[in-house]
Amino acid sequence: MFDQKTLANGLRIIGEKIDHFRSVAVGLWIGAGSQYETPPEAGVSHFLEHMVFKGTQKRTARQIAEEMDAVGGQLNAFTSKECTCFYAKVVDEHLDLAMDVLSDMATAPKFDPTEMEKEKGVVIEEIAMAEDTPEDVVHELIMLAQFGDQPVARPILGSERSVSSFAREDLLSYWGGMYHPRNAVLALAGNYDWERVVDAAERLLGNWGATPRAAADFHTHAVEPTALFKEKDIEQVQICLGYPGVTMEDERNYAFSLLNSVLGGSMSSRLFQKIREEKGMAYSIYSYPNSYLDCGMLSIYAATRPEQAAEVLQMIRGEIASIAEKGIRREEFQMAREQLKAGFILGSESTSARMNSLGRRLLLLNQTRTETEVIDRINAMRFEEVNALAREILTAPSALAVVGRDAEKLSRQMGTEA
């Protein structure tokens, strides 16, 4: 069971106590991500995450780092499409300090103009690094091919142009409108005293208030998927196929994950065995599921030599057509179900992983789910349910993204061979 409390200002707190651990992970989750940015704001959620580490009203950037290092703690953050999380992992006796630092960073950032200009350079280099990584490029491109110019398809990092344009007032406006207690969750997992946690949260975050910005329509709408390409002078062609998926709230989410596992999510998957093990035509070949609040996507990725690209894509489509028509085999279903259970259990054997699961689910879905409930849901999956979902997803129109030499020519050739 979980400890839960909602403060008077709307901040939700959730914890999972694990007595036999000496560590505790704590995260402050904010419902601010690239999904909620207007085009001129592209990348502001991620840039704000960077700037929070550059100093607060009472701590310099150096003091933030030194205070956590002095107790051997870990401090970090990440930005996704739908949320930002600032988190720490410490020995249990230093939880008060971790909560103090995280609260200070999120509620009282300084946004120093000089530091902003320096950090713009850092983020622009991060964008350049992603552009120099072909695998990253094709994953961004498949989002555009599947969803078009909608917020969910835009890069989390933004663009050099958008990041360069940010002024201090832009950060203050976005921070003030998105960083407020009713749009936040404080999550913990590990060894803690719940009364002390609540007392500290009341002291550090009980007076936190802000004015939420006006709601805008950031919902993802269905569009016709397309084929996109990007020319790059690289040795391999990067290929991505995209199919519609399920949302985070969809009860078929576990079936979605199981389908992915059979198709390309493991070493025993059809695509890995066929294209890498049997044919030796790719080193990297896999599929992965993405589920968001209002949309989802199943992506299939492969990297191969240009002269093999059309054949590799044809084999991928052949396996997809086979699953759509005949379904997965019962032995595949049973193996993948065990993989899902084992993956969940093994992935839950750290305080950080448990804190992540608690915080994300409560923030985005306002739900909790115990380990037993997850295992029960996986066990309750039916063979026919997975095959019905496979038919629905894999017979839908697909998106295509190609990156490499002669990418335009290849995308036209491969796009007509569906």
Cα–Cα distance measured from residue 26 to residue 302, given in angstroms and rounded to the nearest whole number: 37
- Decide the pairing of beta strands 227-231 and 399-404: parallel
CB atoms within 10 A of CB 235: 10
Least Cα distance to 229 among 397, 416, 398, 410 occurs for 410
Alpha carbon distance, N-terminus to C-terminus of the chain: 49
Q: Find where tokens 């240009």 sit.
A: 306
Q: How far apart are CA 275 and CA 312, in angstroms?
A: 7
Distance CA 86, CA 94 (A): 17
- DSSP string of 360-386, one letter each residue: HHHHHHS----HHHHHHHHHH--HHHH
The SS3 call for residue 184 is strand
List Cβ neighbours of 392 (8 Å cut-off, separation of 6 or more).
Answer: none
Other C-beta atoms closer than 10 Å to the C-beta of 133 total 12
Q: Is 49 a catalytic residue?
A: yes
Q: CB neighbours of 214 closer than 8 A, spacing ≥ 6?
A: none
Q: Helices then strands (H, E): number in the chain? A: 16, 11
Q: Which residue in 37, 49, 82, 119 is the catalytic one? A: 49
Q: Give the closest residue to 3 by CA, choosing from 208, 191, 202, 204.
A: 191
CA neighbor of 300 nearest in space, from 280, 281, 327, 319: 319
User: Which sign does the torsion angle of CA 359, 361, 364, 367 carry?
Assistant: negative
User: Which residues are catalytically annotated?
Assistant: 49
